[in-house]
């Protein structure tokens, strides 16, 4: 860990001002940032401690949605009765992630920004374009079991490792930020993440010093919700593939569908065409297979992660059966 | 170390059977009981002191620097930036002395030294020493090393044809008896399959750690070691000092599983740095460095051939194993070690060859050999049973040998079939369904069985036992307790023979100032160090009898009193200024005259998700025999641990080497998947009564490893029974199962 | 910097980079909390901060100056063990002992989470978490025990939860939610 200067912020405005210098990072739970700083994958020169900002509340809005403070710990969000009652997919996703200890510390804002678990990103002895643009990608041609099959580029095949953001993407969350100049910004989660392209080091649309203050969930969606996570261990492991699904059926036909995927791409993955292929159709394996065809049309394996493609198809079909079945 | 003035030495070499044991005739009645660990209260309250936790003054922090090429020569090491950083004291290199490889267990020589020519990715090449851990860790990353890259051999598949025959280790590398090829050709039923297992890491929870301090030219090293007596010799030779100038302290060790048998790179680095600085240096390996630069279990490729007659009687057993190791390293994973004696069969071919690779050292990990060898053997037996159409337990029964099928000597004790039968009854084996037919919702269920066997070994071991004026006994040996329960069983043996309440026995372990013990490894710890304590206590009984003025066998020792001749005298009154004796056990002819091993049977039930291929162990039972059980509670725990290692071995553990440079890819506990609590059901363990008079005076055999032997095989066989798909490439991760699962 | 640990006041001036774990182990002589991975992947460092279990290795000491911190040393001593500590001894919920302080601190925090009605990954009805062995195993999966005392750890925790009323509280919640 490189040394850094430390500033503790008592309000968000001060925090963004403090962080508006090159090399500054916010720290709240720190569960991912400190992990990476110890390895010098992250080397911030300044840490702005936002852990005491008043962003720890979950509030119900008049439109029926929820506004979640960026500092709400994963545990609290998962256990919130309103989340359990109306956004079960989010609770389930959170509970499928990490461990009890980590969920007690990890925050909503920080979890949106969790960085990849690519083995090579984590090791400064190897080439990684995400860590050091232009250095090359060791994962291509290396061991890539946990890495991406969708949205990759020649420069990076990292996966977004999170669970919560996958559910939030299925729920059409909006991320609210505060910029250094004091402006607030609302960013749809669908616009929040960036594909790696030739700049895999840039993962979101956040500007330097821009602080996530809240995540907003729209009014609860219709239909059934589920989060299915496939992993090597029964617990305490990152997703090989995960699906967050919210599907409603009316009169024997799929009325709405929101499907987001973890473990497949550099961001929580969602493809509107997959859902369009479902809506209006009577649930059937043929329809589900057609949706899977669309999802996986551009999928590309890199050797040790090839299995994710057939696995995803199976998980998607089984999930859709669960969500549309009697 | 021996010949204490007022004591005597009671030495025994196991040349003949030892049919009488004081543990059977003594009266205290603590042996075998499921007693709580005597060191338990310390452990649960954070008061047990591990290597890195000794409070010494003026400790400097060392952080190890690793090589970042697969092979090559260091041409420059620029530490100027690191040295200039605040808090950094020095960056220390000593290419010739630093350990290239850790040492294997029990060796008395220095391991391979010399790090200038990098032998594997992650090799430790320097140590940064600073006033704080944080400064040392940061500076280690700023040491700039330049290499002339070498040509390395990094791919097992690419070099498997170039395997070479190693020298004899625990077993000879090759054994040929009769003619397996001909027997296979003539057999009615045959199996010819290849199983593969990956590299694995012991992943003990305490990372390797050394706290080194020099005083008057002598080194004390607080270290995380399993075998201090030989570690001390390795360390002295590595540093070029005489052994009497080195003391190792390892009172508590946070697990070892083979990885701490020999000294590891941090020990010599810390010792060199401490000497140069003239102050104590603490060097703890980062978890990633434990993965990179300690020791791994070798990957294996095992061709398994079985030939049987129409009734399933084996006529041929072929077990040909390829393993890997660094050039110049003799250790080979002895995957065929149990195949030598587990089943009948006249024609036998058991071989081991090493593929030389520039990967980190391969060495011992819990039950080297059997842990992965029984995957192949027990998998093949299961396959043969399926092919013949008989019950796998019946097949084993038909191949139960009456004597060692190679050495033609009797078994000292062997209860494999009773273990299988008891387990079958308890587990509900009769309810096993045909493969692939037990579907419950989205899960396929199956059960499997495998035999467990682990050779029993006795090692030279010594201990001193003294009785003080208060009638309390003190046991001293440099034997360790790495979680095995040594503190407790040595206290029980002493309490039993000397007739003391358990709390009146104080056990001091892990200090090489005490008599040299066997160390913890190879499941020999309890039998060996326990016997040395037994012998010391036996000698003390003689002294007590003499003081009492009665014959030994006319005397009963109980609750701190000596009872004989219608008298009952407190022991404290008889010992005068104290008594002491040293016991020393050594292996003898009983090893050659009898085949000695612990046995067991594993039963596993797994559920396989038909959609994803996720495998979950639902139930698991191990029935074991290991001679006398010294403490039913800690013995059970040893088996729980072994069985859980088996779950990891079967389902999740795989140390991945990058084929481009040999580096460990998944070098942390987030990506090297040891089982977590949710992976492990409430395992069941049962012991069958047994005594082994050929093993040692305790009549106990090894127990620390038999729990893993066969465990993964039982899970693999259960997985076959669940799915009807035989996967032979371990670990049995879901990606390998998908193809064979029903279509969704 | 000032810290409150196990109800005691401590002054220390560690490096700004010092983790809460290293603060305790290297600066305050509180070596009961263990370092197994230093990356939140094993749980050996688990402490209770303001009553919640966290990985102290992934936390900067400087960020905890206003917190109430409890380590294994604060739960009990060999002479006066916490109920979970003595249950771990009775059930042999350990072997080498290295992960044990983290397991026990984690169990203390976990049982509190159960009493608060928090669900887990294996909870069927999220409104009504039950208390059973699967729940204990899942909730304790952030604490790796390589010696693999897991079945005994589950036994120890179950026994304490039955004795201290946690099970009853969980059951009551289940019934209420069902009603």
Per-residue pLDDT tens digits for B643-664: 999 999 999 999 999 999 999 9
Nearest CA-CA distance, residue C59 and chain A, Å: 6
Q: Work out the pLDDT band at C177, boundaries 50, 70, 90.
A: confident
Could you give the CA distance from residue C31 to residue B449 in angstroms, rounded to a whole number? 43
- Look at B612 and A314 and tell me if their CB atoms are within 8 Å: yes
> CA of B139, closest CA in chain C: separation in Å?
13
Give the domain range for residue A26. 5-48
- In chain C, residues with a C-beta closer than 8 Å to the C-beta of B651 are none
User: Taking the CB of residue B164, how many other CB atoms lie within 10 A of it?
Assistant: 10
Query: Which residues are registered as beta bridge partners of B598?
Result: B454
Q: What percent of chain A shows pLDDT beyond 70?
A: 100
Residues of B in CB contact (< 8 Å) with A are 66, 68, 86, 121, 134, 137-138, 141, 288, 442, 611-614, 616, 651-652, 656, 658, 660, 663, 665-668, 670-671, 673, 675-679, 733-735, 738, 744
Contact criterion met (CB < 8 Å) for A232 and B734: yes
Q: Residue B259's closest CA among B547, B475, B482? A: B482
The CATH code that applies to domain B297-457+593-740 is: 3.30.365.10
Interface size, chain A vs chain C, as Cβ–Cβ contacts under 8 Å: 102
Residues whose CB is less than 8 angstroms from the CB of residue A63 and which lie 6 or more positions away in sequence, other chains included = A218, A219
Please say whether the beta carbons of B177 and B346 come within 8 A.
yes
Instruction: For residue A282, give the CATH number of its domain.
Output: 3.30.390.50
| Identified catalytic residue from B266, B378, B605, B705 | B705
Q: Which of C144, C136, C111 is nearest to C45 (CA)?
A: C144
Q: Which residues neighbour B142 within 8 Å (Cβ) at sequence distance 6 or greater?
A: B81, B82, B85
Percent of chain B with pLDDT over 70: 99
Task: Report the relative pairing of strands B200-201 and B72-78 from DSSP bridges.
Answer: unpaired
**Digit-coded pLDDT (tens) for B323-375:** 999 999 999 999 999 999 999 999 999 999 999 999 999 999 999 999 999 99
Are B207 and C35 within 8 A, CB to CB? yes
Give residues with Cβ within 8 angstroms of C20, minimum separation 6: C47, C49, C56, C57, C59, C60, C61, C64, C69
Closest to C89 (Cβ–Cβ): which among B40, B47, B643? B40
* Catalytic residue check, B53: no
For chain B, the structural domain boundaries read 8-30+460-586, 51-151+208-284, 297-457+593-740
Which tokens go with A271? Answer: 């493809």
Q: Chain B 49-68, CB below 8 Å of chain C: which residues?
A: 49-50, 52-53, 55, 61
Are the beta carbons of A27 and C43 separated by less than 8 Å? no
Q: Residue B411's Cα: distance from chain center in Å?
A: 23
pLDDT at B3: 38
Span B220-246, mean pLDDT?
Answer: 98
Q: Is the domain defined by C83-178 classed in CATH 3.40.50.2300?
A: no
Most A CBs within 10 A among B84, B157, B612, hence the mutation to make, goes to B612
Neighbours of A251 (CB within 10 A): 6
| Mean pLDDT of all residues in A34-57 | 98
Structural domain contains residue A22: yes
Q: Which residue numbers of A have CB closer than 8 Å to B's CBs?
A: 1-3, 38, 40, 117, 119-120, 122-126, 138, 141-143, 145-146, 230-238, 240, 307, 310-311, 313-315, 317-318
Would the pLDDT of B5 be above 60?
no
Which residue, A131, A138, A122, A170, is CA-closest to A271? A170
Q: Are A26 and A206 in contact (CB under 8 A)?
A: no
User: How far is Cα B625 from Cα A310, in angstroms, rounded to an integer?
Assistant: 45
User: With contacts defined as CB-CB under 8 Å, which chain A residues touch B614?
Assistant: 230-231
pLDDT reported for residue B7: 62
CATH topology of domain B51-151+208-284: Aldehyde Oxidoreductase; domain 4 (3.30.365)
pLDDT tens sequence across C35-89: 999 999 999 999 999 999 999 999 999 999 999 999 999 999 999 999 999 999 9
Closest residue on chain B to A37 (Cα): B138
- Residue A122 scores a pLDDT above 50: yes
Q: How many separate domains does chain A show? A: 2
Measured between beta carbons, which residues in chain B are less than 8 angstroms from residue A3? 86, 134, 138
Q: Looking at the domain assignment, is residue A134 inside a domain?
A: no
Tell me the CATH architecture of domain C2-75. Roll (3.10)
Beta bridge partners of B303: B194, B320
Q: Could you confirm whether domain B8-30+460-586 is CATH 3.90.660.10?
A: no
How many Cβ atoms from other residues are within 10 Å of residue B4's Cβ? Answer: 14
Residues of chain C with CATH 3.10.20.30: 2-75
Contact partners, residue B541, CB within 8 Å, separation at least 6: B22, B497, B498, B552, B555, B557
pLDDT band at C170 (very low <50, low <70, confident <90, very high): confident
| Other Cβ atoms closer than 10 A to B551 | 11
Which residues numbered 163-222 in B keep a CB inside 8 Å of some CB on C?
A: 202-207
**Interface predicted TM-score (ipTM):** 0.98
pLDDT in tens, B29-83: 999 999 999 999 999 999 999 999 999 999 999 999 999 999 999 999 999 999 9
CA-based nearest residue to B598, from B287, B374, B304: B374
Question: For chain A, which chains pass the contact test of at least 3 CB pairs under 8 Å?
Answer: B, C
Is the per-residue pLDDT at A245 higher than 60? yes
* Neighbouring C-alpha atoms within 13 Å toward the C-beta of C33: 33
Distance from CA of B564 to the nearest CA of C (A): 36
User: Are B423 and B449 within 8 A, CB to CB?
Assistant: yes
pLDDT at B170 (0 to 100):
84
**pLDDT at site B2:** 38
For residue A116, the distance in angstroms to the closest alpha carbon of chain C comes to 15
**Radius of gyration over every alpha carbon of chain C, rounded to an integer in angstroms:** 17
Min distance A146 CA to chain C CA atoms (Å): 17
Let me know if residue A216 belongs to a domain: no
Integer Cα distance of B184 and B382 in angstroms: 18
Chain A residues within an 8 Å CB radius of C129: none
Distance CA A279, CA C33 (A): 54
Chain A residues whose beta carbon lies within 8 Å of the beta carbon of residue C61: none
Q: Give C-chain residues touching A49 at CB under 8 angstroms.
A: 62-63
The size of the A-B interface in CB pairs under 8 A is: 89
Task: Please give the pLDDT value at position A154.
Answer: 96
- Cα separation, B679 vs C140, in Å, equals 11
Contact of A35 with chain C, judged by CB distance below 8 Å, is answered with: yes
Q: pLDDT tens for residues A250-301?
A: 999 999 999 999 999 999 999 999 999 999 999 999 999 999 999 999 999 9
User: Among B61, B442, B677, B719, which residue's Cα sits nearest to residue C26?
Assistant: B61
Tell me the per-residue pLDDT of B688-743, one tens digit each, with 9 for 90 and over.
Answer: 999 999 999 999 999 999 999 999 999 999 999 999 999 999 999 999 999 999 99
- Does C139 reach chain A within 8 Å, measured CB to CB? yes
Inter-chain CB proximity B744 and A314 less than 8 Å:
yes
Q: What is the token pair recorded at A56? A: 């720890």
């Amino acid at each position: 860990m490189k040394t850094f200067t430390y500033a503790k912020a008592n309000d968000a405005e001060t925090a963004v001002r403090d962080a508006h210098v090159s090399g500054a990072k916010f720290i709240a739970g720190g569960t991912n940032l400190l992990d990476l700083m110890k390895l010098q994958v992250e080397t911030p020169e300044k840490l702005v401690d936002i852990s005491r900002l008043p962003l720890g509340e979950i509030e119900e809005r008049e439109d029926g949605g929820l506004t979640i403070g960026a500092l709400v710990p994963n545990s609290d969000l998962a256990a919130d009765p309103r989340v359990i009652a109306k956004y079960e997919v989010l609770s389930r996703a959170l509970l499928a992630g990490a461990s009890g200890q980590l969920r007690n510390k990890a925050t909503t804002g920080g979890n949106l920004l969790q960085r990849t678990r690519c083995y090579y990103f984590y090791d400064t002895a190897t080439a990684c374009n995400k860590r050091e643009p232009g250095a090359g990608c060791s994962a291509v041609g290396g061991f890539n079991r946990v890495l991406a099959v969708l949205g990759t580029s020649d420069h990076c095949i990292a996966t977004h490792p999170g669970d919560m953001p996958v559910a939030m993407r299925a729920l059409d969350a909006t991320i609210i930020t505060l910029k250094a100049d004091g402006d607030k910004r609302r960013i749809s989660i669908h616009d929040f993440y960036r594909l790696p392209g030739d700049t895999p080091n840039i993962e979101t649309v956040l500007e330097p010093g821009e602080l996530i203050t809240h995540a907003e969930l729209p009014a609860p969606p219709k239909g059934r919700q589920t989060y299915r996570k496939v992993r090597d261990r029964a617990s305490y492991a990152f997703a090989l593939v995960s699906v967050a699904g919210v599907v409603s059926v009316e009169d024997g036909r799929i009325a709405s569908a929101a499907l987001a995927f973890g473990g497949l791409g550099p961001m929580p993955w969602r493809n509107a065409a997959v859902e369009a292929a479902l809506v209006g159709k009577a649930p059937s394996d043929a329809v589900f297979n057609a949706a899977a065809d669309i999802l996986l049309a551009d999928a590309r394996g890199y050797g040790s992660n090839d299995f994710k493609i057939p696995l995803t198809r199976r998980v998607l079909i089984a999930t859709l059966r669960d969500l549309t079945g009697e | 170390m021996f010949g204490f003035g007022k004591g005597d030495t009671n030495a025994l070499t196991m040349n003949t059977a030892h049919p009488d044991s004081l543990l059977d005739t003594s009266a205290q009645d603590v042996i075998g009981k499921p007693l709580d660990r005597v060191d338990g209260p310390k452990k649960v309250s954070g008061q047990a002191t591990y290597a890195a936790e000794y409070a010494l003054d003026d400790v400097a922090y060392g952080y190890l620097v690793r090589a970042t090429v697969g092979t090559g020569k260091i041409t420059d090491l620029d530490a100027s930036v690191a040295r200039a950083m605040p808090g950094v004291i020095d960056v220390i290199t000593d290419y010739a002395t630093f350990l290239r490889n850790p040492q294997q267990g029990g060796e008395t020589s220095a391991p391979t030294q010399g790090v200038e020519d990098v032998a594997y990715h992650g090799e430790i090449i320097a140590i940064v020493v600073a006033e704080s851990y944080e400064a040392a860790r940061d500076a280690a990353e700023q040491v700039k090393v330049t290499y002339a890259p070498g040509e390395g051999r990094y791919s097992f598949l690419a070099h498997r044809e170039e395997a070479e025959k190693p020298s004899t280790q625990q077993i000879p590398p090759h054994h040929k008896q009769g003619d397996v090829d001909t027997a296979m050709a003539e057999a009615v039923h045959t199996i010819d399959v290849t199983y593969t297992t990956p590299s694995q890491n012991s992943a003990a929870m305490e990372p390797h750690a050394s706290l080194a301090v020099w005083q008057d030219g002598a080194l004390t090293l607080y270290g995380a070691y399993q075998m201090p007596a030989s570690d001390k010799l390795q360390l002295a030779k590595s540093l070029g000092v005489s052994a009497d100038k080195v003391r190792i302290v390892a009172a508590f060790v946070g697990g070892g599983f083979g990885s701490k048998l020999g000294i590891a790179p941090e020990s010599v680095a810390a010792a060199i740095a401490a000497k140069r600085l003239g102050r104590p240096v603490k060097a703890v390996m980062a978890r990633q460095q434990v993965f990179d630069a300690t020791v791994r279990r070798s990957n294996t490729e095992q061709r398994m051939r079985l030939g049987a007659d129409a009734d399933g009687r084996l006529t041929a057993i072929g077990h040909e194993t390829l393993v890997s190791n660094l050039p110049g390293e003799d250790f080979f994973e002895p995957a065929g070690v149990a195949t030598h004696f587990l089943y009948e069969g006249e024609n036998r071919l058991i071989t081991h060859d090493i593929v030389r690779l520039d990967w980190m050292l391969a060495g011992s990990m819990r039950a080297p050999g059997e842990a992965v060898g029984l995957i192949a053997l027990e998998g093949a037996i299961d396959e043969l049973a399926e092919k013949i159409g008989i019950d796998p337990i019946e097949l084993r029964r038909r191949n139960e040998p009456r004597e060692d099928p190679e050495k033609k000597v009797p078994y000292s004790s062997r209860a494999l079939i009773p273990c299988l039968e008891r387990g079958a009854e308890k587990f509900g084996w009769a309810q096993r369904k045909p493969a692939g037919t037990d579907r419950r919702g989205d899960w396929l269920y199956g059960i499997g069985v495998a035999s467990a066997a682990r050779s029993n070994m006795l090692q030279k071991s010594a201990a001193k036992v003294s009785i003080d004026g208060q009638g309390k006994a003190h046991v001293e040996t440099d034997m360790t307790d790495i979680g095995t329960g040594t503190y407790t069983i040595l206290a029980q043996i002493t309490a039993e023979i000397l007739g003391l309440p358990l709390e009146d026995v104080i056990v001091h372990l892990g200090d090489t100032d005490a008599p040299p013990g066997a160390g913890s490894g190879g499941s020999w710890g309890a039998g060996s160090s326990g016997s040395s304590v037994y012998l010391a206590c036996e000698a003390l009984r003689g002294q007590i009898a003499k003081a009492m003025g009665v014959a030994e066998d006319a005397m009963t020792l109980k609750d701190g009193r000596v009872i004989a001749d219608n008298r009952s005298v407190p022991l404290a009154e008889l010992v005068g200024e104290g008594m002491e004796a040293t016991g020393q056990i050594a292996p003898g002819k009983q090893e050659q005259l009898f085949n000695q091993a612990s046995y067991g049977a594993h039963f596993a039930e797994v559920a396989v998700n038909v959609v994803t291929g996720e495998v979950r162990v639902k139930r698991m039972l191990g029935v074991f025999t290991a001679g006398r059980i010294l403490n039913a509670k800690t013995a059970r725990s040893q088996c729980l641990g072994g069985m859980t290692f088996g779950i990891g071995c079967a389902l999740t553990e795989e140390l991945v080497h990058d084929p481009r440079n040999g580096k460990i890819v998944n070098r942390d506990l987030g990506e090297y998947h040891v089982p977590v609590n949710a992976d492990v059901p409430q395992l069941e363990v049962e012991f069958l009564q047994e005594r082994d008079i050929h093993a040692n005076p305790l009549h106990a055999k090894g127990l620390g490893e038999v729990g893993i032997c066969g465990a993964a095989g039982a899970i693999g066989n259960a997985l076959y029974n669940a799915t009807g798909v035989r996967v032979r490439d371990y670990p049995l991760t879901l990606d390998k199962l998908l193809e064979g699962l029903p279509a969704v | 910097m000032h810290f409150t640990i196990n109800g005691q006041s401590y002054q220390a001036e560690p490096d700004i980079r010092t983790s809460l774990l290293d603060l305790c182990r290297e600066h305050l002589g509180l070596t009961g909390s263990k370092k197994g991975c230093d990356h939140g992947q094993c749980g050996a460092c688990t402490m209770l901060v303001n009553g919640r279990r966290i990985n102290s290795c992934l936390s900067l000491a400087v960020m905890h100056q206003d917190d109430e911190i409890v380590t294994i040393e604060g739960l009990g001593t060999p002479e006066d063990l916490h109920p979970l500590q003595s249950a771990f001894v009775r059930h042999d919920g350990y072997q080498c002992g290295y992960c044990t302080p983290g397991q026990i601190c984690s169990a203390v925090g976990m049982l509190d989470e159960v009493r608060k009605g928090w669900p887990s990954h294996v909870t069927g009805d999220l409104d009504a978490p039950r208390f059973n062995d699967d729940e204990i195993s899942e909730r304790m999966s952030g604490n790796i025990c390589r010696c693999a005392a897991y079945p005994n750890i589950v036994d120890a925790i179950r026994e304490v939860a039955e004795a201290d009323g946690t099970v009853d509280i969980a059951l009551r919640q289940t019934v209420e939610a069902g009603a």
